[in-house]
Structure 1
C-alpha cells in the first residue's frame, strides 16, 4: 500500500523548482506566481512525487498555477488525488470556483481537467508567444494560446 502524505510548504522554505519545472517551462515563469501561491507536496514516504501551487485570484476564485507529477508516478491516479485535494482546499476556504490554464497543445492535460469536472471557459490568445522568450513545443506543435478551464464548487 502506498504511503501518500500531503505537506504544505511554509513561506520562506526552499521552493521545489525541480518538480514545478515538470509543468512550467522556466524558473522565471514560475517566479511570476510562486511567491504568492500556496505550495503543496505529495510524498510517498520521504519521496516527493508531485507538487501543486494554488493562487488566490479573488475571494471567490482559486487558481491552480502548477500541478506536476514525477514521470514514474504518472498514469496511476496521482493527478486525480491532487485535483481532489485542490477541490477540498478550495471548499474549506469558501471559494466558489477553481480555475486552471493550460496550453492549447496540451491535449492530454485538457482531457484530464475535463475528466475532473472542469469546463472550458475561455482562451488567452498568444499567451505563450508573449510570455516566454523562446518558442515552446508540445506534441509537435508550437504552444500559442492558453486554454482556461473552470470547475464550479458545490456542497
Structure 2
C-alpha cells in the first residue's frame, strides 16, 4: 500500500467528523472521546482522506481503538486491515502490548473484521448503547444493546 500516507493530525480542525460518523452514530458521541484521542488519517496519492482512526490510551496499556472508519468507496479493499497493521506499529513503538476495541452486539460485519485481523472477544459492556445513545441504534435490523469488547495481544 505504497500509495497511501498514514499521518497523525495535530489540530482539532483537521478531524474528519463526516468520516468518523461512519463508525459512530452521532457527533456528540464522537466528541466524548475524540479530543482525548490521537487521530490518524490515511490519505491516498491525491491527498484525499480515505480513512481515519482514533486511538485512546488512558494508561500505559492497553491502546483502545475508539473509532476506525474507511470511506465507503474504499471499503473491502484491505484498507481496514492496513490500518490495523499501522496501529500495531504505533502500539509497539510505544511499548504497548494489547489493543482493544468495542463494537455493537449486532455489528456482525465489524465483529468478523476484527476477528479476521487477530482480535478475540473477551468481555461485554451490558446496555452500553441503551445508556449512551438517546435514540435506538440499529444495525443489520438489530437494535444494539451491548458492546462486545475484543482484544489482541501484540
TM-score normalised by L of structure 2:
0.96
Q: Aligned residue for 1:20? A: 20
Q: Aligned residue for 1:5? A: 5
Deviation at 1:13, TM superposition (A): 3.6
Structure-to-structure mapping, 1:1-155, within 5 angstroms: 3-45=3-45, 46-153=47-154
Deviation at 1:2, TM superposition (A): 6.5
Higher strand fraction (1 or 2)? 1
Deviation at 1:3, TM superposition (A): 1.7
CA contact (8 A) 2:12 2:35 kept: no
Distance, in Å, in 2 between the alignment partners of 1:15 and 1:74 is 20
Deviation at 1:12, TM superposition (A): 3.9
Distance, in Å, in 1 between the alignment partners of 2:109 and 2:26 is 21
Count of residues in Structure 1 that have an aligned counterpart in Structure 2: 153
Distance, in Å, in 2 between the alignment partners of 1:57 and 1:146 is 19
Distance, in Å, in 2 between the alignment partners of 1:13 and 1:48 is 14
Q: Where in structure 1 do 4 or more consecutive aligned residues deviate above 4 Å?
A: none
Give the RMSD, CA atoms, in angstroms.
1.2
TM-score normalised by L of structure 1:
0.95
Distance, in Å, in 2 between the alignment partners of 1:38 and 1:13 is 14
